Structure 1
Amino acid sequence: MSKKIDLNWSVYDITKTYPEVIDIMANLGFDEIKKPAMLNSVGRIMTIPKGAKAKGISIPVVIAELIKNGFEITGNMPDISSMGSKQFQAKETGNTVLLKDYLKRLGNGEDLESVKKDFVQNFSDVDASEIMKAEQELIKEGTPITEVQKLCDVHSALFHGLTKEEKIANAEKAVEESLKKEETSEMTTTTDAYVRKHELAKALRETKGHPLYSFTEANEKFSKEIADIRGALEKGEDVSKKISDFRQIAIHYAKKGDLIYPLLKVRYEISGPSYVMWSVDDEIRDELAAIDKECNHDEEWIKRVQAVLTRADEMIYKETNILFPICAMNFTAEEWYEIYEDAKDYALVYGIDNRWEEAEKYVQDKKNRHEAAIYEGEIVMGGGHMSAAQLEAMLNTLPIEITFIDDNNINRFFNEGAKVFKRPGMAIDREVFSCHPPKIEPMVRSIIESFKNHTRDSVPVWMEKQGKPFLVTYYAVRDKKDNYLGTVEVVQDMQFAKEHFTS
C-alpha cells in the first residue's frame, strides 16, 4: 500500500499518520516540527506549502525529498514548471523609462495626440505583454494608479478600433495573445501554459458553487441586463428602475475588491492588473450611483448611461479572459475555500446563492480541527494568531470598555484605560453580582440567566452619564457548538454619533 500525502492536509495530520515525516521535514529546515507544543498548535492549521513559504524553503525541494522517501504526493500541487516565470517580474528597462517620460509629458499638459505619436513610434514592435509589465513596474515604484491609467488611451493607439472602448478591448486581447506566446516559449514541458490556464479557469467556472462559478453566473446576468437596458434606450423607454437594479454590480465588485485583488497582490505579487481593474470597478460603481440620482434624463444622461454600460461590459470580458485565468493558475484550493466562505458575508446578487459542497466540508473540518492554543506567548485561534502583548494592546486600543464574565458569573477580564464605569482590579475573580448596586443586581441576574437558557443573545441598554449618551450592550458568548461560555459587556460613548446626526 503506497504512502500518500495530500498537500492540503495540516502538518499535524500528516505527522500523526506518518511520524517519520517529522525527521524528514526537520532535516529540510523545519526545526519547529520537533517541538510537540508547536506541532500540536500551529501544526494543526499549517500546511506544507504554507510552511515552506513561511520558512523560505523551496517547495519543489520538499516534494522531491518526500517522493525520495517513498511518498506519493497528491492534493493542490504547486505549478513547479512555471516557477521562475518572468510573467509578473518586470525590471527597470528602456520601456519603463519611456513610459515614465510619457506620463511626465501628459502631466505637464502636453497634447495627448503628440504623446501617442511618439508612443506608436517607440512601441510598435514591442509585445503588448512588455507594455503591461512596464506599467506594472511603474505601479510597484509608487506611481499612482490614476497616472498609470492615463496610459490606457496612449496604449490603445497601437491597436485598431473605431472607438476608445474598442481600442482598449483590442489592446487587452493583444496582451493575452502576447502572454500566450511568452508562456509557450518559457515552459519547459509540453503543456501549453496559455491553454492550461484558460482550461483550468473554465473547469472552475463550471464547478457548481465554486467562486468562479458564482462570479460567472453573476456576469451572465449582468450581460443580460446590459442588453436589456440598451434595448430599452433604443426604444426610448424609461430605464430608471433598470439602472437601480443594475447597481447590484457594486456587490460583485466589492467581492473582487475584498477577496480577489488583495490576495493577488499580497501573496502572489500580481498587482498591476488588479490595481487598474479595481480602480475601474470603483469608477463604474460611482458613475452608476451618480446616474441613478440624476433626475434630468436628457441626451447627455443617456450618453453617460451608454458609456458606463460599455465599461461594465468590458469588465466582464476582462474578468473572464484575464482576471479569472490568472486566479485559476495561482490560487490554491484552500484559498478558494476561504473565498467561498468569506463571500457569504456579502448580500446576494440577483438572488444568486450557490452551495459548494467541497468547500463546506473543508470549512467544517477546519473548524473542528482548530483549538485555541498558547505557545510561548503566541495565541493561536481559528481566525489567526498573535502574541499576548498584541492582543492586549488591540483590546486596549478599541474605544470601548470591555468586561468578560465567565460561565460561573466570575469577572475574568477588563480592558485597560480611562473608564466611565470604574472597574477596580480587585474585582477580577469575584462574582459579577458583587460589582453592582442592589437595585441593578436583579437586572444583571436576569440578563445572564436569559443568556444561559438561550432565550436572548444580546441586551442593549441606553443611558445618560456625565451629560453624554452611552450604549451598554451585553452579549452572550458561545462556542461553535452554541454552548454558553460567558457574557461580555461593552460600553460605548455615543456622543460622537449624537453630534454627527444633529449637526
Structure 2
Amino acid sequence: MEISSSTTSEHFRVLLPYCLGLADPASNTANLVRARGMFDTVTPAETLVLVDAVMQTVEDMELVKTIVTRLLHSFTKALAAQHRPFERGFPFLEELMSRNDRITAILDSLKPQVVSMNSKNSPGLLRKDMVASLDRLSELTAHYTLKENILFPVIEKFVEENRCVQLMWAIHDDVRTTLKDLRESLADADTPLAVLNRQFGQLFFDMRSMVFREEQVLFPAILPRIPRNVLLTLSEDQHEEGQVDPTAARGSSDGRIDLVTGNPTARQLVHLFNSLPVDITLVDEDDKVVYFNTPEHRIFPRTKAVVGRTVQNCHPPKSVHIVQKILEAFRAGTQKEAEFRITVGSRYVRITYTALYHGDGSYAGTLEVSQDITGFRDMEGEKRLLDWQDR
C-alpha cells in the first residue's frame, strides 16, 4: 500500500500491525509493546490512514467495527486532546456539529430515564417519554443521510484513503436499526429489561462514538485535503433542493435531442423523467452514475454530488456485495435483470436493475428503477371511469 503523506512511514509500519492484531488482543502483546509509545502522538490524519488500511485488509465489516473501536480506544488520549481540532466556519460542518450537540443532549437526558426504567419496572409514562426521545433522535439521524449524500462523495473525490465512509455508513445503519428495535421493544410491556438495556447500550455507544469519530478524526483529517471553495459551497440545501427546474437544462430553449422516435428538447426530457412515478438512476459501463431523475416524492435521496460517483458507493455497505454481483453478471451477459421488493418506512417498494447493451452487444450500463407499489397491493378489477370530483 502506498503510504499517505498524512502519516510517517515509521508510525505506519509499527501501528498497522498493532491495529490488525486488535482482532485478537490476547495474541497482540508484541505489537502492543512496539506501538504503545506512539499512542499519545497519533494524529487524526494518521488514524484515517490506518482505518483505511484495516478496511483494505479485513473483509468482514463486523470485525472491522471491532478493530476500529479498539484502535480508537488506544488513541483516545491523543485524539481527544483538543476539542474539535480543526478550522471552523464552514456552514455545512457547523450544521452537522450543531446536530451532534442536540444528539448528545438527548442521549444525556435518556440516561437517567434508563436508570429509572431499571428501578421502576418501566411504567407506561416513562416509556412514553423514552419513545419521544427516540423520535427526536430519529429526526436527527437525517444528519447521517446528509453525510452519506453530500459529504461522502466529496471525501471520495479528494481523499484517497476514503474507506472510512463505508464504515461510518454501516454504523449509521446500525443506529437506524437499533432505534427501530427500541421502539418495538418499548411498545411491548413483556420485553425483558436485559433486552432493553442491551439495545440502549448499543444506541448510546454507536451515537456517541459517531460524534467522536466525526469531530475528532474525520473532520480534522479531511479538511486540509478538500479545497476551501468546495467546503464553503457544501449545503444542506443540496439534499433538499427537490425537483430540478426544467428551465435549468442547458440548450433547452431551442436545442433538440434525436431519440430516433422523436426530437424533444432537454427541457421536455426533464419534464418527462420527473413526471414518471418512479426513481431512475442511470449507471454507465464503468459503474459511474451519470443521471438521476427528481420526481416529487423520491424514495431514495440523491444529490448532484452522486454524478460521477461509483454506484457501489451509493449504497449501504451491507448491500454493496449484491450490487457488485449484479453488475458483474450484467457485464458478463449472464443475467439481464434483477428485481427486489422491500419495505421503506410505510412504503412497499419494487426495485429493478436492467442491463443496457450497445448494438454490438457490449455492456453499456445499468438502469436502476424504484417504484412505490404500496397502493398496488390492494388493486382488483378494472378502472375505466374518470372519477375527478367537480370543483
Q: Which TM-score applies when normalising by structure 1?
A: 0.41
Unaligned runs of 5+ in 2: 118-125, 274-294, 297-368, 380-391
**Mapped pair 1:136 → 2:27:** no
**Mapped pair 1:152 → 2:39:** no
Tell me what 1:264 maps to: 155
- CA, structure 1 residues 221+116, in 2 after alignment: closer, same or farther (shift >3 Å)? same
Task: Kindly state the Cα deviation for residue 253 of structure 1 after the two structures are TM-superposed.
Answer: 0.8
Give, in whole Å, the separation in 1 of the partners of 2:17 and 2:370. 55
Tell me what 2:75 maps to: 171
Tell me what 2:198 maps to: 303
- CA, structure 1 residues 275+126, in 2 after alignment: closer, same or farther (shift >3 Å)? farther
Partner deviation per Cα, 1:48-95 (whole Å, 9 max, x = no partner): xxxxxxxxxxxxxxxxxxxxxxxxxxxxxxxxxxxx971169799644
Tell me what 1:315 maps to: 210
Mapped contact 1:90–1:134 kept (Cα < 8 A): no
Mapped contact 1:155–1:171 kept (Cα < 8 A): yes
1:89-488 matches, cutoff 5 A: 94-95=13-14, 98=17, 102=21, 106=23, 112-127=24-39, 128-129=42-43, 133-140=49-56, 143-152=59-68, 154-155=70-71, 168=73, 171-175=75-79, 198=85, 200=87, 202-204=88-90, 210-236=91-117, 237-238=126-127, 239-294=130-185, 295=188, 296=191, 298-329=193-224, 330-345=226-241, 372=250, 404=264
Q: Which SS does the other structure have where 1:333 is aligned?
A: helix
Letter in 2 for 1:198: P
Task: Kindly state the Cα deviation for residue 342 of structure 1 after the two structures are TM-superposed.
Answer: 0.8
Give, in whole Å, the separation in 1 of the partners of 2:220 and 2:234. 18
Mapped contact 2:14–2:31 kept (Cα < 8 A): no
Mapped contact 1:90–1:136 kept (Cα < 8 A): no
Letter in 1 for 2:240: K
Letter in 2 for 1:268: V
Give, in whole Å, the separation in 1 of the partners of 2:146 and 2:220. 17
Letter in 1 for 2:35: F
- CA, structure 1 residues 371+88, in 2 after alignment: closer, same or farther (shift >3 Å)? farther
Mapped contact 2:61–2:167 kept (Cα < 8 A): yes
Unaligned runs of 5+ in 1: 1-83, 107-111, 157-167, 178-193, 205-209, 347-363, 380-387, 397-401, 416-456, 459-491
State the structure with more CA Rg. 1
Mapped contact 1:240–1:292 kept (Cα < 8 A): yes
More relative contact order in 1 or in 2 (CA 8 Å, sep 6+)?
2
Give, in whole Å, the separation in 2 of the partners of 1:212 and 1:495. 33
Give, in whole Å, the separation in 2 of the partners of 1:93 and 1:328. 21
- CA, structure 1 residues 271+406, in 2 after alignment: closer, same or farther (shift >3 Å)? closer
Task: Kindly state the Cα deviation for residue 271 of structure 1 after the two structures are TM-superposed.
Answer: 1.0
- Tell me the C-alpha RMSD between the 2 structures: 5.0
Mapped contact 1:95–1:134 kept (Cα < 8 A): no
Partner deviation per Cα, 1:10-53 (whole Å, 9 max, x = no partner): xxxxxxxxxxxxxxxxxxxxxxxxxxxxxxxxxxxxxxxxxxxx
Partner deviation per Cα, 1:226-278 (whole Å, 9 max, x = no partner): 11111222333321232233212321111111111221123222414433333
Give, in whole Å, the separation in 2 of the partners of 1:501 and 1:89. 62
Give, in whole Å, the separation in 2 of the partners of 1:115 and 1:300. 32
Partner deviation per Cα, 1:330-359 (whole Å, 9 max, x = no partner): 24324542434313259xxxxxxxxxxxxx
Give, in whole Å, the separation in 1 of the partners of 2:159 and 2:263. 41
Mapped contact 1:261–1:278 kept (Cα < 8 A): no
- CA, structure 1 residues 227+324, in 2 after alignment: closer, same or farther (shift >3 Å)? same
Partner deviation per Cα, 1:350-385 (whole Å, 9 max, x = no partner): xxxxxxxxxxxxxx9xx99x77259xxxx9xxxxxx
Task: Kindly state the Cα deviation for residue 308 of structure 1 after the two structures are TM-superposed.
Answer: 1.1
Task: Kindly state the Cα deviation for residue 115 of structure 1 after the two structures are TM-superposed.
Answer: 3.0
Give, in whole Å, the separation in 1 of the partners of 2:63 and 2:13. 19
Mapped contact 2:18–2:35 kept (Cα < 8 A): no
